[in-house]
Structure 1
Amino acid sequence: MCQIFTTADPELYACRSRSIRLRGVATSVRLENIYWNTLEEIGARDGLSVPQLVSRLHDELDHAGALGDRANFTSFLRVTCTRYLQLQLAGLIPTDTSVAIRSLDAGKVLAGERSRFFSSAA
């Protein structure tokens, strides 16, 4: 079983830092390449570059008062990527990358996520 995971291309889990502007301030975000690849896919679906996507996510978290510990923002990005992939597997986000994320009914996706992932945990 583990061979499926242990034979992954080491480039996927190599870390890379990228400089991104958040609220006009340049900052560095360090993630494994597999997460940068996933962020690229998410952003491309809505015509956004990775810096634009990351900045938008940061601003929406900040606006909602959910940003909290800024040191945890990198973890938030990892969770974002993982949720994106889980939601695709669950059929709640189309795997067709030509479908924009912004075109989806967020309420429906979130309700599907709650019923699918959290009702089984109870």
Structure 2
Amino acid sequence: MCRLFIGADPELWTSQTRSIRMDGMVTSVRLESMFWTVLEEIAAKDDMNVPQLLHQLYNESIDEGHDLGNFTSFLRVCCLRFIDLQLKGLLPSGQSAGFETLPAEEILKVEAGRNKERTLFKAVPKDQH
């Protein structure tokens, strides 16, 4: 089983630090190469580059009242959610539609329902599955 993971190209987990300017301040973000690749794909969906995407994610998160004390962790979760939503068929694959055209509230409701089902399924003792 582990061969699928340990046999992957080590370049995928090589860390890269990128400097970006947000609200007039320069900050550095350090992520593994694979996460930068996913962020590039996300940014491309809305015709943005990665610094623009990070700036928008940061500002919209602050506007929502989120505490982004660990911005890199937030970005990793964004990447994983993006892939997870695509695998579940809740986000289209490819470059077709920007995020503004998607029914975000509907997708979030479906995702929340699936997460609740998964949580309930885990709470049931194994002999009752």
Could you state the TM-score of these two structures normalised by the residue count of structure 1? 0.93
Residues 12 and 33 of structure 2 are in contact (CA less than 8 Å); yes or no, is this contact kept in structure 1?
yes
Deviation at 1:69, TM superposition (A): 4.5
Aligned equivalents of 1:6, 1:12: Cα separation in 2: 11
Structure 1, unmatched stretches of 5+, are none
Give the aligned partner of residue 87 of structure 1: 85
1:1-122 superposed matches below 5 A: 1-66=1-66, 68-70=67-69, 72-122=70-120
Aligned equivalents of 2:65, 2:28: Cα separation in 1: 22
Aligned equivalents of 2:86, 2:39: Cα separation in 1: 14
Runs of 4+ in 1 over 3 A off after TM superposition: none
Deviation at 1:97, TM superposition (A): 2.3
| Secondary structure in 1 matching 2:73 | helix
Deviation at 1:45, TM superposition (A): 0.5
**C-alpha RMSD of the superposition:** 1.0
Aligned equivalents of 2:95, 2:111: Cα separation in 1: 19
| Secondary structure in 2 matching 1:29 | strand
Aligned equivalents of 1:35, 1:53: Cα separation in 2: 13
Residues 68 and 74 of structure 2 are in contact (CA less than 8 Å); yes or no, is this contact kept in structure 1?
no
Paired residues, what number? 120
Higher relative contact order, chain-length normalized (CA < 8 Å, sep 6+): 1
Structure 2, unmatched stretches of 5+, are 121-129
Aligned equivalents of 1:100, 1:69: Cα separation in 2: 24
The one-letter code of the counterpart of 1:102 is E
Give the aligned partner of residue 124 of structure 2: none
Aligned equivalents of 1:92, 1:45: Cα separation in 2: 15
Give per-residue Cα distances to partners, 1:35-89, cap 9 Å, x unaligned: 00000000000001000000000000111121x243x111000000000000001
